[in-house]
A and B are shown apart, each in its own frame.
Chain A
Amino acid sequence: MSRNPRDTSRTPLDLAHATPDPAFEITLDGRPLPALPGQSVAAALWAAGILSWRTTRRDGRPRGAFCGIGSCYDCLATVNSRPNQRACLVPARPGDAVTTQEGTGRADLAV
């Protein structure tokens, strides 16, 4: 493996000498994505180059993981129809259906 600092082919998995168990599939708004066992939902989305999976209540602006440790609640996602899950904490599981959460994620309660 090259140690050249300009070698952009190096990955976090290389760095940690990781040989993960086989990847499985999750979906974001129906789009299939691979996830590795042990990754959070947010990590699986980042690995697919996706940085946002929520829109804000007031302005409908896109948001994703920010603090990465469960403090900021910016990464809230709807996972398997359950809204307001912190994607940076919840482990990805085979077949998880993640949907972009709009506002409170409680459109069903709107009057």
Chain B
Amino acid sequence: MPTLPSDDTVPAAPDACDDAPYDLAVVGAGPAGLAAAVAAGRLGLRVALLDSAARTGGQFYRHPAPGLGARRPEALHHAWQAYADRAARLEALVAAGRVDHLAEHHVWAVTGAAGEWSVHAALGPDGADQRRTVRAAKLLLATGAYERQLPFPGWTLPGVVGAGGAQAMLKAGLVLPGQRVVVAGSGPLLLAVAGSLAAAGAEIPAVLEASGYVGYTRRPATLAANPGKLAEGAVHAAALLRHRIPVRTRSAVTEVHGKDRVEAVTVMRLDRDWRPVPGTERRIPCNALAVGHGLVPQLEPATGIGCATRLTPDGTHALVVDDRQRTTVTGVWSAGESGGVGGAELALLEGELAALDIAGRDGRGRTSRARRRDRLRGFADAMAVAHAPRPGWTAWLDDDTDVCRCEEVTAGQVREAVAELGARDARTVKLLTRAGMGWCQGRMCGAAVACLAGGAGDTASRRPLACPVTLEQLAED
């Protein structure tokens, strides 16, 4: 694959005083942001790369801190080399003063306009320390995604963890939530998670996929155009075979049992619309459940500065981006999952495409990358449709199931707001019940509340602050 630029030299640092705005601020150091910062730095721009974590890589390439002495971090990753190469280039660019890697910077808002963006961050591992504002002429948002959750009875019991969460804790902390872990939900991530947990020593009694995998085959042309993705799927399938993990499609965990932690789950067959089929209950003893239903693009701080969003094929919202990764706001680009979930390989490409456009390099390297991007987007859309939640899932909710984990708002309360108080959208439900008003700002319950209120709206919910900040931090300006 051609690199950007093709030789390994690093341009010398320009003379710049500390307060001079950067040419480019990149928010997020996952695959997209990292690739973009490296490409832009090598194309001569002075770049600030901001990320909430201590190390680059984002969620996909999350890896242990040096103290854990992991000599083989790649054992937990697909396509590790793509990360390792860029991390090495970033290090060279940082050493040369071209790129500043601003770790543990939690970006909570962006203000300004093209040519004079101000990126506001709260510092520290948890964003609880002092704050800082970084100024830049151009802005690239590569804020990634978080996991979509659908509630079910018992999902708040300790031991129920996000599938991506279990993966993240394993990748960074080298720990498991339990020794016997059921993996459930929908989407391609489940197979990767089950494979990793098993490789790390967990027993996986079952993987339960609410949809199926036949949806892929309805788009043979998309499959044929993405041999790499098929190979990746085959790697996961082989890992499951090796560990003798049964995969059940059209099945879901409909209840979790246990007093203070997970002791067992009830699994049921689902019909085509994800409605549980009566009489198919089966109990599986386990001490943890890793569950998730695909990913949701992280839209903040983009929506705060007016970037337009679109409804995706699986019912989430993503930023509108054009062929050059430009958002609808002048001077703001997006790459990776914030513009639609599509995986790390796509994110790397989009980051480089954005950097080329930001640096004003139109020709070299653009066409082939754009072609590969479009092919991978096609594959991602096909998968999104195949695994999109179907409306029947709400049949597994009890009235006393918590829907909003933060504010402890039950399905019964949400249904009452809809049926008796006339709420027709998630925002009205929130005002009536407090669902989505807690610490996570509706990230965990948003999909469920929208569904219970009658479906995803045309516009994404707005969060003026991307993460909680203290009044003290706010008052510093």
A interface list, Cβ under 8 A from B: 5, 7-21, 36-40, 42-44, 46-47, 51-52, 56-59, 61-74, 76, 82, 85-86, 88-91
Task: Let me know if B371 is at the binding interface, CB within 8 A.
Answer: no
B interface list, Cβ under 8 A from A: 52, 54, 59, 64-73, 75-76, 125-126, 128, 146-147, 156-162, 164-170, 172-179, 198-201, 203, 242-244, 260-261, 288, 405-408, 438-440, 443-444, 468
User: A15-B200, A89-B126 in contact; A63/B67 too (CB < 8 A)?
Assistant: no
Residues of B within 8 A of A69 (CB): 59, 146, 164-165, 168
User: A36-B68, A73-B440 in contact; A16/B75 too (CB < 8 A)?
Assistant: yes
Are B408 and A56 touching (Cβ within 8 A)?
A: yes
CA of A76 to CA of B75 in the docked complex: distance in angstroms? 30
Quick one: which of A8, A12, A76 contacts B439, CB cutoff 8 A?
Answer: A76
Other than A11-B200, A15-B75, A36-B174, give 14 A-B pairs with Cβ distance below 8 A.
A9-B201, A12-B170, A13-B68, A13-B174, A16-B70, A18-B70, A38-B67, A38-B173, A40-B173, A67-B164, A73-B440, A89-B52, A89-B126, A91-B54
CA of A18 to CA of B337 in the docked complex: distance in angstroms? 31
Quick one: which of A18, A42, A56, A59 contacts B64, CB cutoff 8 A?
Answer: A18
CA of A58 to CA of B73 in the docked complex: distance in angstroms? 41
B170, B173, B438 pick with most chain A CB within 10 angstroms: B173
Those 8 A-B pairs whose CB atoms lie nearest each other, nearest first: A43-B173, A37-B67, A68-B165, A38-B65, A38-B67, A73-B439, A51-B158, A52-B158
Are A67 and B444 touching (Cβ within 8 A)?
A: yes
Main SS at interface, chain B: loop
Q: What is the chain B residue whose CB lies nearest that of A16? A: B70
Are B200 and A12 touching (Cβ within 8 A)?
A: yes
Residues of B within 8 A of A76 (CB): 439
Are A11 and B69 touching (Cβ within 8 A)?
A: no
Are A71 and B126 touching (Cβ within 8 A)?
A: no
Quick one: which of A38, A43, A47, A63 contacts B66, CB cutoff 8 A?
Answer: A38
Are A39 and B200 touching (Cβ within 8 A)?
A: no
User: A20-B67, A63-B158, A89-B125 in contact; A51/B261 too (CB < 8 A)?
Assistant: yes
